[in-house]
Chain A
């Protein structure tokens, strides 16, 4: 059974903290993605990666960075968390052609 696993389902962090959101996939997919989802705004792409150590900005990369040191793992980093980064974060992976598989999401609250 294919799987994309996000490290936490719920997370509460303080303003200014450095936050790591981890995503692991077991399907040997080249592509991995990070999205955030807010009410009324749909899924917005933050960053994606098409290979190890490769990364591309999505539509809303400001305030975020990513790391892909291994093919199966894609990390989203909030260098200094702010309250406007409170959101649902979703990770996905896919082959270049083909369906994407999503994790269950991490609901991050920054207080």
Chain B
């Protein structure tokens, strides 16, 4: 069963912010939201994760709604190298070992 729902594809103009949404309405209180991306022919790469509070690192920002049922990954200034498939995953909690990916969002950054 998919725990997250993402749009299949999005476009973003180069230099603009890319905002990638994710719905996780069944998330439980001790589950984290993780984001990964996969550039063609490479293994997925970790981007960021969070529990309740918004998070920022050198790659991106993660905004989690107050009810934790959805989140948005923000790439502040998208470049052509950000073209990839982005996966939103929920994981965590006692005894929660499994790591399941959905189909993700294919982000195309356009010159």
Chain A residues packing against B (C-beta within 8 Å): 4, 31, 33, 35, 40-45, 48, 50, 56, 58-59, 90, 92, 94, 96-97, 99-105
A-B contact count, CB below 8 Å? 57
B68 within 8 A of A: no
Taking residues whose C-beta sits less than 8 angstroms from the other chain, chain B's interface range is 20 to 34
Of B44, B46, B97, the residue contacting A96 (CB under 8 A) is B97
B15 within 8 A of A: no
Chain B residues packing against A (C-beta within 8 Å): 32, 34, 36, 41-46, 49, 85, 87, 92, 96-104
Q: Interface on chain A toward B: helix, strand, loop, or mixed SS?
A: strand
Q: A45-B100, A103-B43 are in contact. List 16 more A-B contacts (CB 8 A).
A: A31-B99, A33-B99, A41-B103, A42-B85, A42-B102, A43-B101, A48-B99, A56-B97, A56-B98, A58-B100, A59-B100, A92-B43, A92-B44, A92-B99, A97-B32, A99-B34
Of A42, A96, A97, the residue contacting B101 (CB under 8 A) is A42
A102 touches B45 (CB 8 A): yes
Of B41, B46, B101, the residue contacting A35 (CB under 8 A) is B101
